[in-house]
A and B are shown apart, each in its own frame.
Chain A
Amino acid sequence: MGISIVVTSGKGGVGKTTTTANVSTVLASLGKKVCMVDLDIGLRNLDAVMGLTNRIVYDIVDVAQHRVVVSQALVRDPRFEDNLYLLAASQFADKYVLDKDSVGSIVGELKQRFDFVMIDCPAGIEYGFQNAVSIADGALVVTNPEVASVSDADRVVGILENMNMPITPHLIINRIRKNMINEGTSMKIDDIVNHLGIPLLGIVIDEDRVISASNSGRTVAFDQYSEAGRSYQNIARRMLGEDIPLDLSDHTKKVGFWGRVFGKK
């Protein structure tokens, strides 16, 4: 019996889908059986980020309406042998065709087969969000170091706490700008963690490679030159219980003597 984890944020555009894709692929590469479920009905993205769009024949709405069984709708990612599957959202139906019961039974069935069921939640805190979080055992709350995003994450953490999930929600701070940390103009990581009051699972810097990787249907986690990719590797390993210290200094640029003399940024 596996566990279901919802990746959520409240605010849109903070990196829920990227986080889902990266964490899932790393877990799969570490030998876990992982199924990604896209619940963003009508605005699905997870398939595009994974480069699996062309393989989708049936989606979660077909399963919920009993046109096919779950195993028929699962899309296997050929790059991860038999470890990684995707259950895509529908691009044609609207979100009200799903309800808590149907999503719950689908995820329940997937939990029998997989170690991790990673649920990509839609932005907002309305109907689609409620469906996604109501059936999850745990949550990854993704936020960016900016006031609007942290404030929305705060609202989401409040809702999640009322649900008494078996696993406490964990925090991922995404899109950290190196240059702003160096200049001291960014929100402080410690302040965000203290403000939200949930355990920090990892931090990921903002990097062009993340975008270029997903544009070509790959995940940045397997880009050996990417710091963000390494951060996602660490996040997945921490989820499996490995003790990997958080080290912010890895991300900040050390300014050498000559840099200081010439004021290079």
Chain B
Amino acid sequence: MSDIILKGGKEGFSVIIDEKANYVDAFKELKEMIMKQNVESTNKDEDVIKFTIKTGNRLLNDDQKDEIREFFEKYPQLELVDIESDVEAKDTVQEFLDKNKTNIESGIVRSGQKLVYQGDLIFLGTLHRDAQICATGSVYILGEVNGIVQAGYPDNTGASILGNLENIDQLRIADVIEIVTEDNKADFQNGKFAFIDDLHSISVDNLTNYKDRLNDLRKRTG
């Protein structure tokens, strides 16, 4: 029985490496197959042939992936589209989950405390003066805040701070810091949101405009 299966489809060829097979043998077989294929197809076809390698429940490490890529680079008429696996490493999954998690905090954050959250944060609690909450994503404030609120910690400029911005001392998004003083206090009220504008400084707008702003920002970055 062969360790690899070659399948053709609309998107080009895919090579399925049997997850139970020995990787070294399978790679050898892949090389032999490509070399054979190459000899047969070079003269007939001038289009680039696309390949996707599927490893099933096997996860290749970076060295193995590099090895395959290097091999394909030798053949300019072949293009390696991707190396796909059905599985992900646990820490990659955890990182992904953390990044997309929504945290809910309902307690009191007191002076001198600094809480850091992975993902977005819905803040229902009370943030006292001299305390700090940081989230890698956006921060939605429904509670009362007096201290420092940081969204996009440490460098996510696409994050925003939304909701009750009244009485906040300092807003930080990524590396931008906005100090609320008597002069600009009127801008920061309930029902507003703060974001990083295209001049890379913090702007405030009504929450009703959030959807439009978000679309604008997405267009800009995407």
Residues of A within 8 A of B (CB): 42, 44, 48, 53-55, 57, 91-92
Contacts and interface: CB of A to CB of B under 8 A. Distances in A.
Contacts of B111: 91
B170 interface: yes
- Shortest beta-carbon contacts, A-B, top 6: A54-B169, A91-B112, A91-B130, A55-B179, A92-B114, A57-B177
B129 interface: yes
B204 interface: no
B112 A54 contact: no
Chain B interface size band reads 10 to 19
Contact of A92 (B112, B129, B170, B181): B112
Given A54-B170, A57-B177, 10 more contacts: A44-B130, A48-B130, A53-B129, A53-B130, A53-B169, A54-B169, A55-B181, A91-B130, A92-B112, A92-B113
Contacts of B132: 92
Contacts of A44: 130
The secondary structure that dominates the B interface is loop
The secondary structure that dominates the A interface is loop
A48 B129 contact: yes
Interface string B153-181: 00000000000000001100000010111
Interface string B93-108: 0000000000000000
Query: Which residue, B112, B129, B170, has most C-beta atoms of chain A within 10 A?
Result: B112
Interface in B101-149: 111-114, 129-130, 132
Contact of B112 (A42, A53, A57): A42
B130 A54 contact: no
A111 B114 CA distance: 32
A57 B132 CA distance: 12
A104 B181 CA distance: 32
B114 A54 contact: no
6 contacts: A48-B129, A53-B130, A53-B169, A55-B179, A57-B170, A57-B179
Nearest to B185: A54
Nearest to A92: B114
Contacts of A48: 129-130
A92 B148 CA distance: 12
Interface in B63-81: none
Contacts of A91: 111-112, 130
A44 B129 CA distance: 12
Query: Which residue, B111, B130, B180, has most C-beta atoms of chain A within 10 A?
Result: B130
A197 B151 CA distance: 55
B14 to A, nearest CB: 50
A117 B130 CA distance: 24
B181 A54 contact: yes
B85 to A, nearest CB: 41
B115 to A, nearest CB: 11
B35 to A, nearest CB: 56
A54 B180 contact: yes
A53 B170 CA distance: 9
A55 B114 CA distance: 17
Contacts of B169: 53-54
Contacts of A53: 129-130, 169
Interface in B173-194: 177, 179-181
A48 B169 CA distance: 12
A55 B129 CA distance: 12
A109 B171 CA distance: 30
B30 to A, nearest CB: 51
